[in-house]
Structure 1
């Protein structure tokens, strides 16, 4: 989780970098409205599917606070229900997935003044949703963890063989319960690791070698495909620039407090 507070500095456009997670933006104490690339307008709390990487345009902003939560697709299935698998790489209103429960959570967060209390309250809410929600098959939980530990470098055929499944069976169950194909998931995990190594100053050549790209040009093409940017430009994107403070990543210490 990370916390953000608007103080009249919301830029007219926010580019989101694809991430292998379902992102929930819990908006309270004010209003923020955005328009997605498809032209849909969203006001208030939203859910962003794994792999979304595009510009959201601000259309309505009044001083607000926001708790941003990143959930693996495994956890998102329990927290948001099976409908979470239908989000795809898109933006949907939180209320469309869980009804009034999201609004009640935001009202409760607005009554708290301390960010640590807000994080604790959100964590308790997530835990309750997980305890009562439907989980995915244990084999898929194992497969996701295998992918993340392996930084997305494992071949799908190898993963299916370790499960004792056919490649077709893995694809079908993974896609139906996690909302994206296994190859897409592995690609997102690898990309996320690679782009963050660029942010901390590792050279594109070294990143390409460490993360299984055939060469530096292959890495360049993937970054361009995901973001429309070059490796040199993507490292300056605001959402990546604060990730070490807001989230941390392998090899970096996690933050002691919220990013503001």
Structure 2
């Protein structure tokens, strides 16, 4: 069973999936975040997804992950997020192999995955940008509140989030909408509250970003 808990790292989450008993697929929805994964004895970076990432489930393979708040991990890695967009990359392709082996040995000896982020120093501007876009602010409004021009804001977003602010805003809005729908709100009400033109617009956005229908994700029809 999937489990998660808040991390001691502000804004991060530690999660685990047990070893799979059989083959299958797992659909991971885009959320603006990046993860460090520990699986089959290797450390892997999960870049920011622009659409749902469908991965094959390997029998016997489990995962431990550290999911960072949007924009936090690229500074620790020293790599722009846009270079990792929609990718899963072994950490030893980003950092020196000897350094990664030492980290993997720590995990083999029982260290928690959070120890890998000892040097993380969140950037207040990045946190503010994610919060503004997560609250539904438009690109121009968010850039203005950060005292940035729109082009500079776009470059910042590519570097730390992996895509431009409009794409991040769409992804964060979809996740807000899904949370409300899963909590039982009617789809039409969710669409109105989140600023979609109508329920059909919400459904199209979910299908475009998640690759499956809103009903399939939430497990019910739009009426309560």
| TM class by smaller structure | 0.7 to 0.9
Structure 1 vs Structure 2 CA RMSD:
2.4
Q: Equivalent residue for 1:36?
A: none
Q: 2:191 aligns with which of 208, 231, 250?
A: 208
1:110 aligns with 2:108: yes
User: How do residues 58-97 of structure 1 correspond to structure 2 at under 5 angstroms?
Assistant: 58=57, 61=59, 63-97=60-94
**Structure 2 vs 1, CA of residues 204 and 13 (structure 1 numbering), >3 Å: closer, same or farther?**
same
Q: Is the 8 A contact 1:73 1:179 kept in 2?
A: no
Give TM-score scaled by structure 1 length.
Answer: 0.69
Consecutive unaligned residues in structure 2, runs of 5 or more: 1-13, 220-224
Q: Is the 8 A contact 1:27 1:106 kept in 2?
A: no
Q: Distance in 2 between matches of 1:107 and 1:221?
A: 45
Quick one: distance in 1 between partners of 2:175 and 2:92?
A: 28
Query: Which residue is 1:12 aligned to?
Result: 24
Show the counterpart of 1:248: none
User: Going by fraction, where is helix more abundant, 1 or 2?
Assistant: 1
Is 2:175 aligned against 1:163? no
Which runs of no fewer than 5 residues in structure 1 stay unpaired? 30-43, 113-117, 237-260
1:124 aligned partner: 115
* Equivalent of residue 126 in structure 2, options 129, 137, 140: 140
Residue by residue over 1:201-233, the C-alpha shift from the partner in whole angstroms, topping out at 9 and shown as x without a partner, is: 222112112211111011000011012211110
Per mean C-alpha deviation after superposition, the further-off stretch among 8-17 and 204-213 is 8-17
